[in-house]
Amino acid sequence: MLADLEDLVLCESYSSDHEAVARSARVVAAQGRRLLGADPEILVIDGVTHLLWSFGAPRVLLLGHHDTVWPVGTLREHPWSVADGVARGPGVFDMKAGLVQLFHAAASLPSPDGLSVLVVGDEELGSPTSRPLIESIAARCAAAFVLEASADGGALKTARKGISRYELIVHGRAAHAGLEPELGANAAVELAHQVLAVAAIGDQVGSSSRAGATSVTPTMLAAGTSTNTVPARARVAVDVRVPDQAAQRRVDELMRALTPRTPGVRLELRGGPNRPPLDPAASAGLFEVAVRTARELGMAPLRGVTVGGGSDGNFTAGAGCPTLDGLGAVGGGAHAAGEHVVVAEMPVRARLVAALTAYVLTGGTAGAPGGGDTVDGDPGPPPGLAGTGHVETGRPEAGDSA
């Protein structure tokens, strides 16, 4: 597994570099071919390379991504290394170790019949080209297991907030700031009003959901072209995190209801909902199965947490597919120089994914306590252990793509 992880990490795969992503796809395809015994379907959509293995009618989707946030050349600053049981390198935690675990788990199954393995190349960008593919496969499956990195301490991600992204543009009128400022319509002044209005939307929406409150956050701002000109244009990016679809719809309504306060300016709103929430109900049944399975495998008790970041698990859950996320690497430091993976946990997590996959492939129902049969030495979920998992609300995870 370490050798496979090294191969993936040494092939850099910055999301915005399509050539780098294509090179990475070839390495991932070779690894999957060796372990799964089959070539993937290579799907290039708008220049982005995705890989799909299909074994009969889909019942279980194993989902991951091979792109990273690290520009090509980062390896020179943060080289691949393994020391004291910890692997380091760009993308090692988010989520190349998860891909290695995915392939080894799938390779251990007695039969892959009913399995779909999808590895996309643009998750870190919000999956703009792969989303329809993810949703179409998930809609036909009984379960989706997402090999994104775990939360703190190896916790699974049982709920995720939904994400909306907007850009609010103010169109004003330029004028000389010294000679005749009164002839202008100051887009920067209007933007100041709108930033305050946008920042208040989260409190207006609120939420009683256990997944947490709604946040509406102005982020990047820009205005003007020179120091002596009344700005004719200004803009602000807005990041939105919502606990449920009702909140996502309400935020969208309020964003579209914004009105200008400065005479002579016009507002333009771009964007909207990007990822639907991963509702706790979408993962509850699978999490119960995972808790019982982990206990039978001799693993430490599993925890489930709610996180603010998004993943492709939002899309599978939104497509109506029961989804369990955060089954990938145990470690930390995603998107940061300290990114790392605890090596000893890799085979442990692979065994868990293999057991969960076998359970569903052989007719197990997500959330049905008991009834799991032993498959090729992997114990199915034992009876009488429903409800032993611990679910808590946590902070947003740095390892999430969005």
Check 94, 123, 252, 312 and give the catalytic one.
123
Q: How confident is the model at residue 309 (pLDDT cuts 50, 70, 90)?
A: confident
Token pair 């920067």: residue: 188
How far apart CA 189 and CA 73 sit, in angstroms, is 41
Same structural domain for residues 6 and 123? yes
Average pLDDT on 138-146 reads: 98
Same structural domain for residues 319 and 348? yes
Q: What is the pTM of this model?
A: 0.84
> For the segment 216-265, what is each residue's pLDDT rounded down to a tens digit?
999 999 999 999 999 999 999 999 999 999 999 999 999 999 999 999 99
User: What's the gap between Cα 195 and its chain centre?
Assistant: 27
pLDDT of residue 206 exceeding 80, the answer is no
Does the annotation count 123 as an active-site position? yes
pLDDT of residue 364 exceeding 90, the answer is no
Residue at which a domain ends, from 274, 309, 337: 274
Same structural domain for residues 297 and 260? no
* 196 backbone dihedrals φ, ψ, rounded to 5°: -65, -40
Question: What per-residue confidence (pLDDT) applies to 379?
Answer: 37
How far apart CA 234 and CA 225 sit, in angstroms, is 10
In a domain, 398, yes or no: no
Average pLDDT on 85-110 reads: 98
Question: What per-residue confidence (pLDDT) applies to 394?
Answer: 40
Token pair 């072209």: residue: 225
Domain count, the chain: 2
How far apart CA 121 and CA 388 sit, in angstroms, is 36
What are the distances in angstroms from CA 113 to CA 107, 117, 300? Answer: 12, 12, 30
In a domain, 402, yes or no: no
* 310 vs 13, higher pLDDT: 13
CA dihedral sign, ordered 381, 386, 389, 391: positive
Question: What per-residue confidence (pLDDT) applies to 308?
Answer: 86
How far apart CA 89 and CA 240 sit, in angstroms, is 31
Average pLDDT on 123-132 reads: 96
pLDDT of residue 371 exceeding 60, the answer is no
Question: What per-residue confidence (pLDDT) applies to 381?
Answer: 37
Same structural domain for residues 15 and 149? yes
In a domain, 300, yes or no: yes
How far apart CA 268 and CA 170 sit, in angstroms, is 6
> For the segment 266-306, what is each residue's pLDDT rounded down to a tens digit?
999 999 999 999 999 999 999 999 999 999 999 999 999 99
Check 6, 12, 67, 190 and give the catalytic one.
67
Same structural domain for residues 306 and 386? yes
Among residues of the chain, what percentage have pLDDT more than 90?
A: 87
Same structural domain for residues 173 and 292? no
Does the annotation count 67 as an active-site position? yes
Question: What per-residue confidence (pLDDT) applies to 78?
Answer: 96
Q: How confident is the model at residue 402 (pLDDT cuts 50, 70, 90)?
A: low
Question: What per-residue confidence (pLDDT) applies to 389?
Answer: 37
pLDDT of residue 388 exceeding 50, the answer is no
Residues whose CB is less than 8 angstroms from the CB of residue 172 and which lie 6 or more positions away in sequence, other chains included = 184, 185, 186, 187, 188, 190, 230, 231, 232, 233, 234, 262, 264, 265
In a domain, 206, yes or no: yes
Q: Where in the sequence is the domain holding 207, given as residue range(s)?
A: 162-274
Token pair 């889909």: residue: 58
Q: Residue 379 corresponds to which tokens in the numbers above?
A: 């114990």
The answer to whether 66 and 9 have CB atoms below 8 angstroms apart is no
Same structural domain for residues 233 and 320? no
pLDDT of residue 144 exceeding 70, the answer is yes
Same structural domain for residues 214 and 283? no
Encode 191-200: b = buried (16+ Cβ within 10 Å), e = exposed.
bbbbbebbee
Read off the CATH number of the domain in which 321 is found. 3.40.630.10
How far apart CA 235 and CA 271 sit, in angstroms, is 13
> For the segment 145-182, what is each residue's pLDDT rounded down to a tens digit?
999 999 999 999 999 999 999 999 999 999 999 999 99
| Mean per-residue pLDDT over the chain, rounded | 91
> For the segment 316-342, what is each residue's pLDDT rounded down to a tens digit?
999 999 999 999 999 999 999 999 999
Question: What per-residue confidence (pLDDT) applies to 400?
Answer: 60
Question: What per-residue confidence (pLDDT) applies to 401?
Answer: 59
How far apart CA 6 and CA 153 sit, in angstroms, is 23
Read off the CATH number of the domain in which 256 is found. 3.30.70.360
Token pair 């169109």: residue: 171
